[in-house]
Amino acid sequence: MDQERPGGTEHVPGTGHVADVAGSGVPGKGSGDDPLVIRDAATGAAVPDAFQRLWNPHRMAYIDAGREGRGRGHEDDCPFCEAPGKSDEDALIVARGEHAYVLLNLFPYNNGHLLVCPYRHVPLYDEATADELREMGELTQTAMRVLRAVSHCDGFNIGMNQGEVAGAGVAGHLHQHIVPRWQSDSNFFPIIARTKSMSQLLGETRRLVAEGWSAEH
């Protein structure tokens, strides 16, 4: 005999699952065609809750890096400390200065999303030297001019996340974001599908920005 579980949902005998997840308008009567209805113990073994799940497996790179100490006050294995030792193509670097350098974000918000980093492993803006801050500012200005020339963007988001609590992905190494923006870059896709549509591969973007940087000087 069917039994009522807390919350008023109808239990399916012999499966340990709930018949009505999404609801059909009739209490205890689930829709046979509703994809949200859990029917098989192999597909999940819990009463659904009100939360949606956004699966971001690429973030595991940051999680694993954190376990190894990357970005948590340690220079060992820090991606922004490692990058300058690689070729520009492999590290996605577009420009190198004396105290700081510029590279593409591996997980861009928009095409041409750049990061300006000091070479020195320092976590916070107020711990950077005057020379580092001066060059980071100059590189940021050049990046804006280059992105405007090669991508015809309409504006920018520029900023820094300071510390893990503020959302810094690599909290141990200071980095400034430069995100080009276009009038038409906000649409339904990120809202509905939680997905950004990228029209250009990172390698091609790096090449265009690096060539534009050379032309700027």
* Cβ atoms of 170 and 71 closer than 8 Å: yes
Query: Tokens at residue 194, please?
Result: 């939680």
Strand partners, 155: 181
- Tokens 């046979």 correspond to 32
Structure token pair of residue 21:
């997840």
Two structure tokens written together for 116 = 């300006």
173 noted as active-site residue: no
Burial of 181 (C-beta count, 10 Å sphere; 0-12/13-18/19+): middle
130's tokens: 């005057």
Amino acid at 67: R
Q: Which of 215, 214, 212, 198 is nearest to 148 (CA)?
A: 212
> Tokens representing 216?
């700027």
In this structure, the strands spanning 100-104 and 93-96 are: antiparallel
Catalytic residue among 17, 113, 173, 175: 175
User: Where in the sequence numbering do the catalytic residues fall?
Assistant: 175
